[in-house]
């Protein structure tokens, strides 16, 4: 069954000129781009997007980071794309993310209050539906 996922190239990725590289990897894997838009987040939008993290110690730095520049918001489509993009992205910690993954190849650890790891990808069908509704209402 075809499904859709919400992907963000975070401000670190956009600033470093890696938007095209992330899109290239999504397309090279065989997924279809449904929507691609350079966007400026807002605190309200991020409170919805990162609802599961509100109140955690890294939440405020995470919001500040996500507001530090534009993000590339993407909807991609394909069989098992939610799981598939999480594998393309690699685990949250870029130091131990395997080479070959976006985070493993393109990100590293810095002495910063929040992890800079290039991309966000929805983690379940429920998250994907919710997040696509937040970033692309009406799609
Ligand atoms: N400083 C810090 N940042 C974190 C931590 N966990 C997550 N983050 C940041 O918050 C984002 C959202 O966290 P999460 O949903 O758990 O990870 P993801 O699904 O792999 O992006 C991550 O991508 C990181 O940018 C943490 O333990 N410490
Ligand atoms: Mg997450």
Q: Where do the domains of the chain lie?
A: 2-135
Mutate to test the pocket of ligand 1, among 107, 115, 117, 130 (most ligand atoms within 8 A of CB): 115
> What is the pLDDT, as a whole number, of residue 1?
87
Measuring from atom 23 of ligand 1, which residue has the nearest CA? 92
Whether domain 2-135 has CATH 3.30.43.10: the reply is no
Helices (H) and strands (E) in the chain, counts: 7, 4
Cβ-count burial of 89 within 10 angstroms (0-12 exposed, 13-18 middle, 19+ buried)? buried
Mean pLDDT of the region 36-49 = 98
Would you say residue 107 has pLDDT above 90? Answer: yes
Residues 85, 81: Cα–Cα separation, whole Å: 6
Q: Is residue 83 scored above 90 in pLDDT?
A: yes
- Average pLDDT of the residues of the chain: 98
Q: How far apart are CA 34 and CA 68, in angstroms?
A: 26
φ and ψ at residue 35, rounded to 5 degrees: -150, 140
């Amino acid at each position: 069954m075809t499904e859709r996922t919400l992907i963000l190239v975070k401000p670190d990725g956009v600033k470093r000129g890696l938007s095209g590289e992330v899109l290239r990897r999504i397309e090279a894997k065989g997924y279809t781009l449904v929507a691609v838009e350079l966007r400026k987040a807002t605190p309200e939008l991020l409170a919805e997007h990162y609802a599961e993290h509100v109140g955690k110690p890294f939440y405020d730095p995470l919001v500040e980071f996500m507001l530090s520049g534009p993000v590339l918001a993407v909807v991609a489509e394909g069989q098992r794309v939610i799981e598939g993009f999480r594998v393309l992205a690699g685990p949250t910690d870029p130091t131990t993310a395997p080479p070959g993954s976006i985070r493993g190849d393109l990100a590293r650890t810095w002495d910063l209050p929040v992890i800079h790891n290039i991309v966000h990808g929805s983690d379940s069908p429920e998250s994907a539906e919710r997040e696509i509704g937040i970033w692309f209402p009406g799609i």
